[in-house]
A and B are shown apart, each in its own frame.
Chain A
Amino acid sequence: GAVVSQHPSRVICKSGTSVKIECRSLDFQATTMFWYRQFPKKSLMLMATSNEGSKATYEQGVEKDKFLINHASLTLSTLTVTSAHPEDSSFYICSAADAGRNQPQHFGDGTRLSIL
């Protein structure tokens, strides 16, 4: 089946650094990718939707300058958390879909981000 690879699975870094998370679709063309944030014991909150080759659409309340999303190819999207602070610590999950096939999204395994 379709596989979405997310890297790194876990990252620990100091406050003030920027962290990049990659999301790759391994066996299909991901015309659309989604980035979610999940707080402990909470549901997934959609942060943004990115379509290949265009700017991401951010959900209300999500800072565009804080969470930079790039979807430069049909197999790769990146989320960069800029100048990360402890409150940015969370579990970030990406998903990918081929809008042309209108099939369910496939999810990555998530990235546990811890900011010290």
Chain B
Amino acid sequence: AQSVTQLDSQVPVFEEAPVELRCNYSSSVSVYLFWYVQYPNQGLQLLLKYLSGSTLVKGINGFEAEFNKSQTSFHLRKPSVHISDTAEYFCAVSSQGGSEKLVFGKGTKLTVNP
């Protein structure tokens, strides 16, 4: 079975500050990892994914994440956040490239304050 733990339910930061949203996973098989962003009353938008290869993955909107197999982590980072980054962020794991069902974490609400 697979599971995802997002350690922080809420992360408040000031504009232009760096941010890290933490994600740890558990899986008995090979994993594929994803970060999605959800704006209010909208669906999910893919930020980035790790399927294989380089452990540092760059995504849209200046976000990046690093896959750490030994720590079973896939933390999301951005060096300088904007007000518009305020949203809910979900980490997810799949046993395949994403066309199989995703197991989501509980989400982290990122609030960027001026």
Contacts and interface: CB of A to CB of B under 8 A. Distances in A.
Interface of A: 4, 6, 31-32, 34, 42-44, 46, 49, 91, 93, 95, 97-99, 101-110, 112
Contact of A108 (B43, B96, B97, B99): B43
Nearest to A32: B99
Interface string B75-114: 0000000000000001000001111111111110000000
A105 B99 contact: yes
Given A6-B43, A44-B44, A104-B99, 10 more contacts: A4-B43, A42-B106, A43-B104, A44-B90, A97-B98, A99-B99, A103-B98, A103-B99, A104-B34, A109-B43
B42 interface: yes
Given A42-B106, A43-B90, A43-B107, A102 B43 contact: no
B43 A98 contact: no
A42 B9 CA distance: 10
